[in-house]
Structure 1
Amino acid sequence: MHESLTASEIMVTDVVTASPGASATDAARLLRDEHVSSVVVVRDETPVGIVTEGDFATQLCERSDLGRTKLSDVMSSPLETITPETAIVDAVALLRAEGIEHLPVVSDGGDDDSSTLVGILTTTELSYYVPHLAHQTGGLEARKPRRQVRTDTQYERDDWSFEYHGEDESTVSVGDVAEFSKPISDDDVASFAEVTGDTNRLHLDDAYAAETRFGRRIVHGILANGLISAALARLPGLTIYLSQESSFLAPLSIGDRVTAVCEVVGDLGESKYRIETTVVDGDGTTVLEGDAVVLIDELPPKAALEGDAATAD
């Protein structure tokens, strides 16, 4: 579970730095020669600013006086920093809130307001643990109209719910959103353990689970991941899973109502689509995020489906 990982466990400790008096040309050479995406500007070991390759691509590239331009004049400051103890989920939240890609990691400076640079955390390191980070689409605020979609599932239950927002009811396009929700019961967890063989006592034994970091039994992470498949199965057409990357961010309690949200964020051609996937618990806490790639075929002819049903009878 990534809520237990801290910056100190994944940060880069060999940070490329320069003084405030160094030139922008010096920083550009460091970016090139050290193969990094940022230079942290430090004064007496305390980070005071940062210059990134993005700055050169969007702002500094138009300047003709880089050799005479001091980093103190062009660096991003004040600097957003984190400590080694910062949880990576909090680091992700800060990156999103500030619209940045680099977080210098500093030690506690104590009472003198100073701090020492000990590392740096970027979207590159975080993407290994939170793959969806590189593919954020800005949320689901601008949803398409809600649709009633033909779902060729074998059966549905009263305590399950499904919503689909899309351009129409027969095709999939970028921006479409599918949501599937159901409670995960104790019987669901027990059945999943039996079917898969994952009989980890953390999911099945109250006394054992009480002694773990969670203090209680929790749902198998892959069982929560299965709700994504359930949502995708209800998209227009016949959905075939090709790949799934998932990051498990928080534990899921047994008995909670769980919702999988799948947003189509990319048309890859040849009926393949990239899906941004999220699973939230009943309190709205995100427990899982990731990306999927699916192939969407046309549904079998209705006559074939009816023939199969007649044969089964």
Structure 2
Amino acid sequence: MRDTIPVTEIMVEDVATAAPDATATEAATLMRGEGVSSVVVVRDGEPVGIVTEGDFATELCERGDLGHLELSGVMSTPLTSIAPTASIVDAVELLRSSEIEHLPVVEDGDDHGTLAGILTTTELSYYVPHLAHRPDHHEAEPARRRVRSDTLYERDDWEFEYRSADESTVSVGETARFSKTLSEDDVEAFAEVTGDTNRVHLDAGYAAETRFGERIVHGVLANGLVSAALARLPGLTIYLSQESSFRAPLSIDERATAVCEVVEDLGRAKYRIETTVLDGDDTPVLEGDAVVLVDELPPTAARERDATAVQ
């Protein structure tokens, strides 16, 4: 469980530090040499402040030359820190409430705090990308619900429809539809997880100067809605292949719908599926063709399904 993972398991132990009387130039050189984005300011072994790349950018807007300015004049203080025994969820909440991106891990001693490491949104994003990015959106997320035997959870703002004469099997002519809004949080989390940080998806100013005129959803993320629809077909659906053509861009925060129609029984529990993703105006943004293998549900899930059907 994420709420029990201590910050010590993911923090960076090798922290760049400097004294309060070190110059901004020395700190900037240290950041560049160590490949880090912050320097913790330490006096007599105790962390008392922090200087980040953002601090330098702010100060440069107000001062013409930082060269010989001491860190005591630009550092953020009092220092916001967290204990080594705190969980990474505690760290996310503290970063969120303090509106910071760097969190020194400090162990309190008898005389002063001891610097144990540092945690940033970069480390956290590997474990909790949906928490580390745009927390206000996360707080408003609909609650998870366990309502199906073939998916771990559902959300109230997701919609699924399966049109068939017999909802217990897959047959030619049946159609599955899955809808959800692809939010800014979704796009940013997808970029972090996959590494696809193309600016047309993440940078509004950059995207405005492209042919799209705005940020757009990753095409593969939109294709993921097809996978979501197929996952809810009767049985255990295993993706074998997918061919897709991207027809139009999909705007961020637009509700999209995947439509999957079973068009051919290939034998041995394999089926060919025509796949389409529609935007909020029912314009196709993606069209394609998939092949899936439909296995029986594992025994436990099958019993859960049968018990639900009896109720």
TM-score (norm 1): 0.52
Q: 2:38–2:50: 8 Å Cα contact kept in structure 1?
A: yes
Q: Tell me the distance in 2 between the aligned counterparts of 1:182 and 1:31.
A: 42
Q: Does 1:39 align with 2:17?
A: no
Tell me the SS of whatever aligns to 2:119: strand
| Change in 2 beyond 3 A, CA 1:115/1:178 | closer
Q: 1:25–1:66: 8 Å Cα contact kept in structure 2?
A: yes
Instruction: Percent identity, please.
Output: 51
| Change in 2 beyond 3 A, CA 1:178/1:233 | farther
Q: What are structure 2's unaligned runs of at least 5 residues?
A: 162-176, 191-203, 205-213, 218-247, 255-275, 284-311
2:250 to 247, 272, 282: 272
1:29-55 CA distances to partner (integer Å, 9 max, x unpaired)? 112221111000001221000000011
Query: Superposed, which structure 2 residues align to 1:243-282 within 5 Å?
Result: 267-268=215-216, 270-274=248-252
| Change in 2 beyond 3 A, CA 1:93/1:232 | farther
Q: Tell me the distance in 2 between the aligned counterparts of 1:39 and 1:45.
A: 14
Aligned partner of 2:75 in structure 1 is: 75
| Change in 2 beyond 3 A, CA 1:2/1:22 | same
Tell me the SS of whatever aligns to 1:66: coil
1:282-307 CA distances to partner (integer Å, 9 max, x unpaired)? xxxxxxxxxxxx9544549xxxxxxx
1:120-175 CA distances to partner (integer Å, 9 max, x unpaired)? 0000000111112453063489xxxxxxxxxxxxxxxxxxxxxxxxxxxxxxxxxx
Q: Tell me the distance in 1 between the aligned counterparts of 2:3 and 2:109.
A: 25
| Change in 2 beyond 3 A, CA 1:26/1:3 | same
Q: What are structure 1's unaligned runs of at least 5 residues?
A: 142-176, 196-221, 247-264, 277-293, 301-313
1:263-294 CA distances to partner (integer Å, 9 max, x unpaired)? xx995164435569xxxxxxxxxxxxxxxxx9
Which one scores higher on RCO, CA 8 angstroms, separation ≥ 6?
Answer: 1
Aligned partner of 1:138 in structure 2 is: 136
* AA aligned opposite 1:272: L
**Count of paired positions:** 191
Tell me the SS of whatever aligns to 2:40: strand
1:227 to 155, 180, 189: 155
Alpha-carbon RMSD across the aligned residues, in angstroms, is 3.8
* AA aligned opposite 1:231: W
Q: 2:158–2:179: 8 Å Cα contact kept in structure 1?
A: no
Q: Which runs of 4+ in 1 moved over 4 A?
A: 240-246, 273-276
Tell me the SS of whatever aligns to 1:28: helix
| Change in 2 beyond 3 A, CA 1:61/1:34 | farther
| Change in 2 beyond 3 A, CA 1:91/1:134 | closer
Aligned partner of 1:129 in structure 2 is: 127
Aligned partner of 1:116 in structure 2 is: 114
Query: Superposed, which structure 2 residues align to 1:17-28 within 5 Å?
Result: 17-28=17-28
Q: Tell me the distance in 1 between the aligned counterparts of 2:4 and 2:51.
A: 30
Q: Does 1:85 align with 2:89?
A: no
Q: 1:15–1:40: 8 Å Cα contact kept in structure 2?
A: yes
Q: Tell me the distance in 2 between the aligned counterparts of 1:232 and 1:43.
A: 57
Q: Tell me the distance in 2 between the aligned counterparts of 1:22 and 1:182.
A: 50
Q: Tell me the distance in 2 between the aligned counterparts of 1:274 and 1:125.
A: 26
Q: 1:239–1:296: 8 Å Cα contact kept in structure 2?
A: no
Q: Tell me the distance in 1 between the aligned counterparts of 2:82 and 2:138.
A: 28
Q: 2:158–2:180: 8 Å Cα contact kept in structure 1?
A: no
| Change in 2 beyond 3 A, CA 1:73/1:240 | closer
Q: Tell me the distance in 2 between the aligned counterparts of 1:17 and 1:125.
A: 19
TM-score (norm 2): 0.52
Q: Tell me the distance in 1 between the aligned counterparts of 2:79 and 2:131.
A: 21
Q: 1:23, CA displacement in angstroms?
A: 0.5
* AA aligned opposite 1:77: T
| Change in 2 beyond 3 A, CA 1:238/1:107 | closer
Aligned partner of 1:165 in structure 2 is: none
Aligned partner of 2:101 in structure 1 is: 101
Q: Tell me the distance in 2 between the aligned counterparts of 1:182 and 1:119.
A: 34
Q: 1:64, CA displacement in angstroms?
A: 3.3
| Change in 2 beyond 3 A, CA 1:13/1:59 | same
